[in-house]
Structure 1
Amino acid sequence: MKAGKILVFIVLLAGIGAFFAFDLKQYFSLEYFQGQRAVLEGYRDSHPVQTTAVFFAVYVLVTGLSLPGATILTLVAGALFGLVWGVILVSFASTIGATTAFLASRYLLRDWVQGKFGDKLKTINDGIEREGAFYLFALRLVPAFPFFLINLVMGLTKMPVRTYFITSQIGMFAGTIVYVYAGTQLGQFKISPGLVAAFVFLGIFPLAAKKVLDALKARKVYAKWTRPASYDRNMVVIGGGSAGLVTAYIAAAVKAKVTLIERHKMGGDCLNTGCVPSKALIKTAKLLNQIKHSKDYGVKSATAEFDFAEAMERVQKVVADIEPHDSVARYTGLGVEVLKGTAKITSPWTVEVTLNDGGKQTLTTKNITIATGGKPFIPPIPGLREANPLHSDNLWEIRKQPKRLVVLGGGPIGCELAQAFARLGSKVTQVEMAPRIMTKEDPEFSEMVAKRFREDGIDVLVDHKATEVRVEGGEKIVVVQHQGAEKRIACDEILCAVGRAANTQGFGLEELGIPLTKQKTVEVNEYLQAHYPNIYACGDAIGPYQFTHTASHTAWYCAVNGLFGRFKSFKVDYSVIPWATFTDPEVARVGLSETEAKEKGVKYDVFTYGIDDLDRAIADSENHGLVKVLTAAGSDKIIGCTIAGPNAGEIIVEFVTAMKYGIGLNKILGTIHIYPTYAESNKYAAGIWKRSTVTKGQMEVATAFNDWTRGAGGLGTVIAKALAMSGNKERYYAAAPTHGDD
């Protein structure tokens, strides 16, 4: 650090240190002002210029050093100088002080912060450069936000000093008037209608300011568009998948006029190409595997005549059986207008629909919800597209089983389908470029699944990168690299399962200037509003969780905020999102994994229970798996849980509920669980937590007490042990938890 910066730092540190060392905070309280009111007013009357100058300087010093007391000084300004002069003094003193803190932060820290974290701050810097004044104004307009924090953080950005000063002056002006006026009433030191009104206004001012801010932002966003005089509909929903269906359902349930537009099949990916068909195929594969291992169930011999085409036809039958739940007929009956066609947003309030029969309609609507879902991502591997790979969309069309199948990807989709095809009889090779499959889970769960995959005959190639695909002599060749060596894998089909991409192209987003994220999802705020406040987005179109249940979850916010947001809006809550990978063993999770807890520096305890010990699992010959619970360190508050084993996706629901409603392990332990069930494993995991809380001191007291009740010891021993108990807090049971900071 340069000498100049060192000097500035020392001066600032000395000023802040002196404030607390000499207990100067006592002078920045209403009680002190009340006691000194007569003296201060007398000095003001006899020395008005000096009083004004000293007050101004103190205010600049307090705000410049980011010391507590600015709010009290603002009230004092109203009491001493009245509304007009008080507002003038505070307005300029606060802005000068804020700018001083801004400059100090910039001088001391900006170069270091930008140099070290510049790549991570690029988005923030671009936003400040583009609309910095507006965002600063937004923060200044709401007094509830800590102004000193704004000063320090903004100093780390590239905002021009002039812009910062002018915007702060304007942005803080309204709040200054409110606080100074409250101070003029405090000067009377009596309860008056004006004082009551001032504090009521202080309470509602942040809400009013937010409404004003939203109106200003909307005015700016909608400036180039002509708003219709009236609307044909309350809501237009684009996309008939899980997110779109739930949005339309809720809107229709509250008697809104809603139109749902779907260009292909109702039900979207989940019904037609994702959750439903994959689980139907997994069921068939699991049945064949159980028959193959019939001896495990006391059946000496069992065989099955399997036909792949018939199994795939069953998959389609399952889809057809569920299809009425998501059909046009059902939703029309619920009051939803369903149009089959392609939608394009042509203005914030109009949607043009090109119907599948060739016709066209233009719809006017108060709100729009983008629920366009996602599609399989095909990575840019040379030759891959030309080899016509299978993916989750087209897989269900095949009727000839591939004898040799290469699965690209070790995530949930890749793992589920790799195991299913292996159990159906295909020779499966799974290629994953990461060091392990299922990288979002803790390593022991990845290895548990990988071990079962190898037992099922899958060649699991981790740390292998597919570099090229060739077609030679009628067969497909996948070229992979591992530790510098090249390997060729011959196969009949390639299944690409490396993830999904949001459907955001071709719906008019580009023309309207609706921005996308780096992941090419629709950029939304915490209320799921896109660039235009009346346009919402949900489901796979926004991420970050590409699950059917999160699509439905986010759809609720779109429907409710879109229809009733003028009265009350709800921020989307991602705090408790569960998911499951339906391999064998199933792996389900909610909250933090241990890996994530370590990465985030969260202090935790971890408790595990092996399902190999569970009576029901033993009875079913399914005694494998693990329940792993993370709690806040020293507490039974659950912050994460991962379960691997039979029905993991079902039994984790107890932990999902517990996290959602703040139920700890102690309550789970005290809940009666039916015997014998897999859900008992949750109680046993809670029991391990409970045992870990028992100390040697407590056990010594218990031993002494029981000895005494049998006549084998004296009461004095019990008392002595009890008195010494606090000094012996070593855990009694060896099954002590692992601490996140160990």
Structure 2
Amino acid sequence: MLPTSAVHRTRASAALQRESLPNMRPADWRNPPVRGRYDLLVIGAGPGGLAAARTAAAAGAKVALVERQQIGGNCINEGCIPSKTLLRSAQLYAEMRSAERYGVALPPAVPVDFAQAMARMRRVRDRLGRTDAPAQLSEAGIELYFGCARFVAPDAVDVEGTRLPFKKAVIATGSRAVLPQIEGLNEAGFLNNESVFDLTALPASLLVIGGGPLGCELAQAFARFGTRTVMVHSEPLFLPKEERDAAQMVSDALAQDGVETHLNCRVVSVRAEDGAKRVQMLSAGNLSSTVVHAILTGIGRRPAVQALDLERAGVAYDASAGIHVDDFLRTSNPRIYAVGDVCLEHRFTNTAEASAQLVVRNALFLGRRRMSALTIPWCTYTDPQVAHVGLYVRHARERHIPVKTFTVPMHDVDRAVTDSEEDGFVKIHVREGSDHILGATIVGRYAGEMINTVSLAMVAGIGLRRLAEVVHAYPTQGDAIRQAARACACAHASPLLAWLQRKWLQR
């Protein structure tokens, strides 16, 4: 375990190690000379910006890509890739401790080597970052500029004193972590979703502020590593956007892993105390306190629109919602589009990439593809996972759409039973009187993989009853989707057809 001062030292050493990653700005990098007007200029080299630049370059466009810090953006450097790598290590420790559940003798001890887990995370991040290293982007025909981009006209930006003119531009600057306004927090020190992955030693105790997907995922992971973990959420329910029975299963799982959860509670002050941090919390008018060695803020992110001088380009925006776009992702300047976290409500890597591909078609090839027409699934990678696609029941009812739901609990799925992974369900919503799929929520160990089947059916216009005809490999946990489809088929069975079948058999 690690005192606070050591936490800061190990973060610094890890930050130095990260400077050698191939997706960081090379020390000897020189920006290329400007070669006339670019067909597409992309600001931001995260998932959305990279997808836009690569798609446009592959189509033969003259493309410039501008990045202020490091290629890969939040996803590969401080988001999806490092977090999921760390979650897998934590999951394995949890499985080793529960070996008896699978009829295996429990090891005498399961020591946690957190430094080794973090070293693995950096290796994975390094390996995946090579795909978008500067040399690879140059080979793809993309002219890469490092530096801060500022609009100087409706059709040009300045990067470190160099003017880059463009025909069309895409803003893909992503989002930044929100710093909660808590007395003494900045002075005492804290971690966020970026700096937490610079740790190389395990804190003895951790307070997680925020009960959204990030807060839940990392709270569970650190608890499984052996950190005393406290999670504080200001709302009465965490994972507030998910269906309540799904969130309750996550709540139960966090409790089983030892996470101490405080709902309807907020942190009001923090102060350093004997190498740790004393945190004062307020709930229902009552003050309480706890002492921890580290604090992780996970209350959300805000669009990164600062320092772009958007006013000079005629691009409308606000600090909380980000850049204003229409359904074609076009800004108030018809030459400029935006993608990903900087303009969209759903801040996911797959959303950023999908919106980028849509924008390239709309900006360069007179396409008319709408963002609202896309079907985007998402997943919270706790254990069990919570995945969703399409409408929630409450949203369907707000639109006066009649809904029928078919639910299959995982304890009715043979493979879930053999895996001792019976916590969860598949819940598929259809329009009442039809098998048209409106949405689905899946809770389970492999929910993120399973939701793709439902997403495919929705995009292809395949009704739920048709999925009953798909022969699945047996036994798999994905068979829960087929069971839901069979229930739908039985519910829609024609009474007349059933009568005719009986008459035929009785002839």
Give the TM-score normalised by structure 2: 0.89
Correspondence for 1:480: 281
- Give yes or no for contact 1:609–1:688 (8 Å, CA) kept in 2: no
Match status 1:237 vs 2:36:
no
For CA contacts below 8 A with separation 6 or more, give which structure has more relative contact order: 2
- Report the 3-state secondary structure (helix = DSSP H, G, I; strand = E; otherwise coil) of the residue aligned with 2:123: helix
Residue in 2 aligned with 1:353?
159
**How is 1:86-105 mapped onto 2 (pairs within 5 angstroms)?**
none
Which of the residues 418, 429, 434 maps onto 2:219? 418
8 Å CA contact 1:407, 1:494 repeated in 2: yes
Tell me the residue number matched to 1:294: 99
**2 CA distance for matches of 1:468 and 1:600?**
42
Within the candidate set 462, 470, 478, 1:671 is matched to: 470
Superposed, 1:331-350 pairs within 5 Å as: 331-350=137-156
Deviation, structure 1 residue 277: 0.1
In 2 relative to 1, CA 557–694 (structure 1 residues): closer, same or farther, beyond 3 Å?
Answer: closer
- Tell me whether 1:329 sits opposite 2:135 in the alignment: yes
Query: Which of 551, 569, 591 does residue 390 from structure 2 map onto?
Result: 591
1:697 Cα deviation from its structure 2 partner: 8.3
Q: Is the 8 A contact 2:177 2:302 kept in 1?
A: yes
Deviations 1:176-229 (A, max 9, x none): xxxxxxxxxxxxxxxxxxxxxxxxxxxxxxxxxxxxxxxxxxxxxxxxxxxxxx
Residue type matched to 1:250 in 2? T
User: What's the counterpart of residue 531 of structure 1?
Assistant: 332
Amino acid at match of 1:664: G
Seen in structure 2, the aligned counterparts of structure 1 residues 265 and 518 have a Cα distance that, compared at 3 Å, is closer
Give the superposition deviation at 1:705. Answer: 6.3
2:266 counterpart (465, 470, 480): 465
2:63 matches 1:258: yes
Give the letter for the 1:630 counterpart.
H
Aligned-partner Cα distance in 1 for 2:51–2:441: 28
Aligned counterpart, 2:353: 552
Distance 1:470 1:614 in 2: 50
Q: Does the residue aligned with 2:474 lie in a helix, a strand or coil?
A: coil
Q: Residue type of the partner of 1:353?
A: V
Matches within 5 A, 1:131-146: none
Q: Work out whether residues 302 and 319 of structure 2, in 8 Å CA contact, stay in contact via their aligned partners in 1.
A: no
Contact 1:378 1:385 in 2 (8 A): no
Structure that is richer in strand per residue:
2
**How does the TM-score come out when normalised to structure 1?**
0.62
| RMSD, aligned α-carbons | 1.9
> In structure 1, the residue corresponding to 2:372 is in which secondary structure?
coil
Other-structure match for 1:683: 482
| Matched-pair contact (CA < 8 Å) for 2:313–2:333 | no
2:168, 2:481 → 1: CA distance? 44
Aligned position for 1:281: 86
Shift of the 510–379 alpha-carbon distance from structure 1 to 2, 3 Å rule, reads farther
Number of aligned residues: 472
> CA separation in 1, counterparts of 2:487 and 2:373?
29
2:125 maps to amino acid: V
Deviation of 1:698 (Å):
7.2
- The answer to whether 1:387 aligns with 2:188 is yes
| CA shift in 2, pair 1:483/1:700, >3 Å | farther
How far did 1:703 drift?
6.1
Rg larger in structure: 1
| Runs (5+) with no aligned partner, structure 2 | 1-34
Q: Percent identity?
A: 35
Q: For 1:573, what is the secondary structure of its paired residue?
A: helix
Match of 2:250 in 1: 449
Deviation digits for residues 543-588 of structure 1 (CA, Å, limit 9, x no counterpart):
11100000001111222222123xx433323542110000000110
- Letter of the 1:620 partner, please give it: D
Check 1:513–1:469 CA distance in 2 against 1; reply closer, same or farther (3 A cut): farther
Q: Which runs of 5+ in 1 are unaligned?
A: 1-229, 355-359, 710-742
SS of 1:309's equivalent in the other structure is: helix
CA contact (8 A) 1:406 1:430 kept: yes
The equivalent of 1:717 in structure 2 is none
The alpha-carbon deviation at position 259 of structure 1 amounts to 0.8
Q: Deviations over 1:72-130 (max 9, x none)?
A: xxxxxxxxxxxxxxxxxxxxxxxxxxxxxxxxxxxxxxxxxxxxxxxxxxxxxxxxxxx
Paired with 1:341 and 1:290, the residues of 2 have a C-alpha distance of 45
Q: Which residue of 1 aligns with 2:368?
A: 569
User: Secondary structure, in 3 states, of the residue corresponding to 1:652?
Assistant: helix
Higher mean alpha-carbon deviation, 533-542 vs 523-532, is at 523-532
Letter paired with 2:173: T
One-letter amino acid of the structure 2 residue matched with residue 500 of structure 1: R
Q: Deviations over 1:10-61 (max 9, x none)?
A: xxxxxxxxxxxxxxxxxxxxxxxxxxxxxxxxxxxxxxxxxxxxxxxxxxxx
Change (3 A) 1:264 1:459: same
Residues 429 and 438, structure 2, Cα contact 8 Å, conserved in 1: yes
Q: Provide the C-alpha distance between the structure 2 equivalents of 1:611 and 1:647, rounded to a whole number of angstroms.
A: 11
CA distance in 1, matches of 2:285, 2:501: 63
Q: Report SS of the residue matched to 2:104.
A: coil
Which residue number in structure 2 is paired with residue 582 of structure 1?
Answer: 381
Judge which range, 475-484 or 499-508, deviates more. 475-484
* CA contact 1:611–1:645 (8 Å) conserved in 2: yes
Check whether the contact 2:303–2:319 (CA below 8 A) recurs between aligned residues: no
Q: Which string of whole-angstrom CA distances, capped at 9 and with x for unpartnered residues, describes residues 512-547 of structure 1?
A: 342214624111122212121001111111111100
Query: Structure 1's 483 and 699: CA in aligned 2 closer, same or farther, altered over 3 A?
Result: farther
